[in-house]
Every structure is written in structure tokens, then in C-alpha cells.
Structure 1
Amino acid sequence: MKAFWRSRELSTVFGASGIDENSATAALGWTLAQSPTFARALLEDLFGEQVDASELRVDMQRHEPGAGGFTDLELRTGSECHAIIEAKVGWVIPTESQFRLYAERIDPKVSRLTKLVSLTAMNRRFVKLPPKLAGVPTTHRSWEDIVRLAAQCRAKTRQAVERLWLEQLGNHLERYMQMQDILSSIVYLVPLGTKEIIEGRGYTWIDVATGDPPQYFHPVGGPTYPRFPKVPQNYIGFRYHGKVQSVHFVEKVDVLVNLNRLNKNWPVGQDPVFLYTLGPAMTPAKKVRSGRNIWPTDSHYCALDTLLSGRYETVADAIAETNRRRRLMRLDESDPLEQQ
């Protein structure tokens, strides 16, 4: 197999500091170019049949003017196949409009097999993509699927170099999948209302948060408003009746679609949600009211101590202090909601 590798950014592939979307994609592309066993296995998995990968070309961040910007990863083998992989942080699925732009780069007359591939942390059973977009078949894989396939290939191959790269890929993606730092002390502070979740049931969001055990759920984040987190949170805080009521450590996170099957008081849904099972309530040392310019329906991110220590009198003060620390640490380059 003669794999051709091309990337716009090779500063990090398996580097310890490169645990982000680009480095995960780069690590995948590099390993595909170095391991014929893995390349054949992934192409067979994506297309459902054996594919000649002897002339595989792996492109990362390929740009085609007027055709949807940069693609994360493209796999081509002459006239045999052409796949475009769009990798995303967390559980967010690429939009159909984004995929349609990428589909313009794929010509079924040139490649016998074609595919648009969504690659995120989301398990494929929760993903609903149209079978085709702009005439190109679609499919979804999770980072866990990739780790599992790499481990299977590592057990099969006798080539020491392949085993080394496959092991490195598995280790790197394991860290990537655990991207949310479990030691982070940022609280996702959400407002709760007294309105019934399902009319006539007498059951509100406050009842969810104060149950035994306390729980909370929200849609897996996406581009539409309101912008819910894309990855599970470490701490959830609740604000209602004009003040911060409690902060909870997240003890367990599940991804579900229809919450109503679990609890008849919860909504019926068709899209994935994060369901948090929370630890005991931690209450602020002093009353923390909302403060100026804090809308009753908005969620915010605050450092844990700014809500609990009693030093800050309002949520507005807690946000200001959290943002001040972010600036000092050079972490304020983008909207924190976008980072989540």
C-alpha cells in the first residue's frame, strides 16, 4: 500500500498538548496513512465491502475554492472510493447544509464508492442522518468506534510499526474522548421556572432539580439558540426565585432520546439529550441574587467558588470574576458557550 498523506497542519499529531478537534483528526489521518491494515478495515467498515486501498490518498484540511471551505479529512483511492469525514468536538452532529457543500466535491462518475461521514462522540444509534445528501450516501461513526477498530487491527497485524501507530492512536483518542476535564470547577448555572413541563401534571423543572436524586437534562448542544453545551458538564447550578439555590457535582451522565420512557413527567422527544444525575446540593454561604443585566431565562458559566464562597453578591459579579480569570489565563479568545 502506498498511502499519500497531505496536511496543512503537522505541528502536532500525537503530541500531549494536541488534544483538540484538529489533533484528533490529524492522528486518525496519519495512522490511516501508516497502517494498511487499519485503512482497509475503516474503508470496509464505511462502505460495507472490501475496498482496494493500495493507492490511498489521505488529505487533511483540504481546501477547494467555492466548495465549502476546508474539509477535516478526505480519503480517496483513485476511481475506487471517495469519502469526506467531518469530525466534531463532543456530541454535536454536522449540519445537513455543511454536508451538502461537501457533497459538491464528490463526483460519483469518478469514484465507484462515495460517502459523507459524520464523526463525533455520539453513539450512532442516536444519530439520524438522511440516507443521502445531494446524491451522496451518508453514515455516522463515533470516536469510540474508531478506537475499537484500531484495537482490532492492532491485534491482527504482525507489523511492529503498525502496532505502534495503532496503539498511539488509541491512547490519543482515549484522551480526546475525555476532553472535558473532570477537575474543572466551572459551574453551568441554569435558570429554572415554575411552569409545568407537561401541562396538567403539576410537575416543574424545580421538581427535577430537587428530586431524589436531583437531576437535570438538556439537549445536546448545536448551532441553534439556545446554545446548550456540546459536552457534559462537571457542575450544574440552579437559579430560581431570584437567587442561586444550589450547586451540584455531576455524578453520572446518560445520553437518551425519549425521556418520557424514563419518567412520565418528562417530555417526549426525538433528539438526544444529556441526562445528569447529581450529587448532594451545595448551597451558597450568602445569598447570591441575579444582579444587573442577567436575564431570567439565560444560562451562564461561573467558577465554583464565585457562587459558594459568599464573596460575590450577585451572579453578575460571579460572571465578571470568572471572565477576569479567563482573560488572565488567555482563555477568553471565544465565547465560552462555543467552547462547550
Structure 2
Amino acid sequence: MPQQRNFHHMNKKGTSLMNIRVLATSTLVGPYIDELGLRFPELCVAPCRSSAWKAGLASAEALIVLLSEPLTEADLDLCPNLRVIGTYSVGINHLPITSCQSRGIRIVNTQGVLTDATADLALTLLLSLTRRVREGEALVRSGHWKGWAPDLLLGTGLTGKTCGILGSGPIGRAFARRVWAIGMKVIFWNREGNQKPVDFGVDIAARLPLDELLRQSDVLSLHCPLTDTTRGLLNREKLDLLPHGAFLINTARGGILDEQAVMELLHQGKIGGVGLDVYENEPDLDPQWLVAPRTVLLPHLGSATLETREAMAKLLCDGIAESLLT
């Protein structure tokens, strides 16, 4: 297990809050924040929005934040020396990207190292839904299971069915390999409108216009970033195009889905099941999800393996160091 460390407002050498070069909101999994502190002794770890964090902004050349800690242009105004922002995530939608670009502030994220972990979790959600794992475990734990029965918790087979994937980046392609291996047909959509077929390593799949893809998707899995193009992409009109009983998986970002429309379709029986690892306005979960039928709900665990989180921390801290040394 990773060692638990307390927040400290000053490093071990007693760096003043008025002379911070690297300002991090949290320790990370593994030793990499500590190692970064050895390279840059003017490193401070203080919770986001705390008084110590605010005091450190004036001198900080590098900020390290989590996905759940959005920054604004007003924050950048308080950081006249800022050269780089590192985020412990692939997604950067919580950062003021345009303002960073105009100010010459580099953004370092953790692209690439969490591909397999996130694709694994998406497959976990899909299999949990279609084989009714949550209900089965609840039955066993309840003490009311009476033994095997011909019609007990019948699920849905996936072999021969079509999986539509929104996003043809590394995670989308990795998920495609996994569902292809269990016998599904794969089709893709991407936000740029590129219609070139997608080579996902073990096969080549068609890339279709969104409406056509939705009409064919027995399973729809989201693997695209949250951008101005994809925010609210799957509204009620689009969701109505899915085949009756389709399954929906989201390990991307919550804002892509119209959550209210999804819940209505679940209650109406038009969607076969929904597996979510991300939510709009998380962690402030819409309480209606807690009573929505045929759902598997996880607390944003896409990259949550020890190996992946350590690799993310190393990549992030290496990127910060490189930015400060060049």
C-alpha cells in the first residue's frame, strides 16, 4: 500500500510560503512528489484553496492539481511567475486552457499510462451490467438464495452484438480490443468527423456518423474528452436513436451525457442498463441515480490501480521537472 503522508505547508528545509517554486495540492501515489521536492526544495504541499495554497500562488512557477480541483483565469492572475500546471489526470477540462495558451503556461497531464486500466474498468462495467453481477451478489449476501434455477437472474449475451465507441483515441481502441475478444462487432465515432476506418490493433473498424452509429449500437461506450463539441452530446434526441434495450457505459466525463434523459429512459425500460464511473458535477451525485434501475455506479475508479497511479505520478513529476529546467 502507498505510504500515507500528511499535508505540510513548508518543506523540511523550512521554505517560506512567500518563496514557493512548486505548489502541489496533494501528495500522490508513490515517492515522486518527495523526489521532486529533493530536486526543487522550494516545494510546498497544501490543500487547494487553503490559506497556505493561496499564499504560495504569488511565487509559484509550477502548480500540481487533481482532476477534482478546477482552476480559473482568476487563479492565473494570482500567479505572475507560473510556467507550468500539472494535473494528475488525462483530462484537462478543469483547467483554463485558452488562458494558459495565451500566457505561455505549459500543461502537463498523464496521457498514455492509464489506457489499459480505464479500458479494463469499462469492460468491468459492461460485464457487470449484462450478467447482473450486482444483483447476484446482493442475492447471495442477503441469505435468500435458494440455489440454481433455470430463470435465475438471466442476463444478456454480448457475442455477435455491436459495440459503438465514442472516441478513437488510445482508451477507445483499447476497449475495442477487449470487446472484440469476446465476440462483439466494433464501430467508432470521433468528434473531428473523420470517416477513416480505425485500426485498433487486432482488426479494423468502420467510423460512422454519430446518428448512424447510435442506431446500430447494442452497447455504447464513451471514451471521448469533454470539450465544447462533446458537452451535452448525448441528449434525449440522440439517446432515442439507440436500439431498445441498449447498454450505456461511461468512463469518460459526466458532462457528455444528459443524465436526466438517461434516467428517464432507464425507468421506461428503453435502455437496458447503464454503467457509470463519472458523473456531471461529481462528487455531487444526482440522488436519482441511487434509485435508478439496472445501474452499476462506481466512484471514478478508471485509473485506480496501484501501478497506474504510480506511473501517473512519475510522468507528472517528470514533466514538471522538465518544464522548470528548460
Alignment TM-score > 0.5, same fold = no
Could you say which TM-score interval applies, normalised by the shorter chain? 0.3 to 0.5
Higher helix share: 2
Higher strand share: 1
Structure 2-normalised TM-score?
A: 0.34
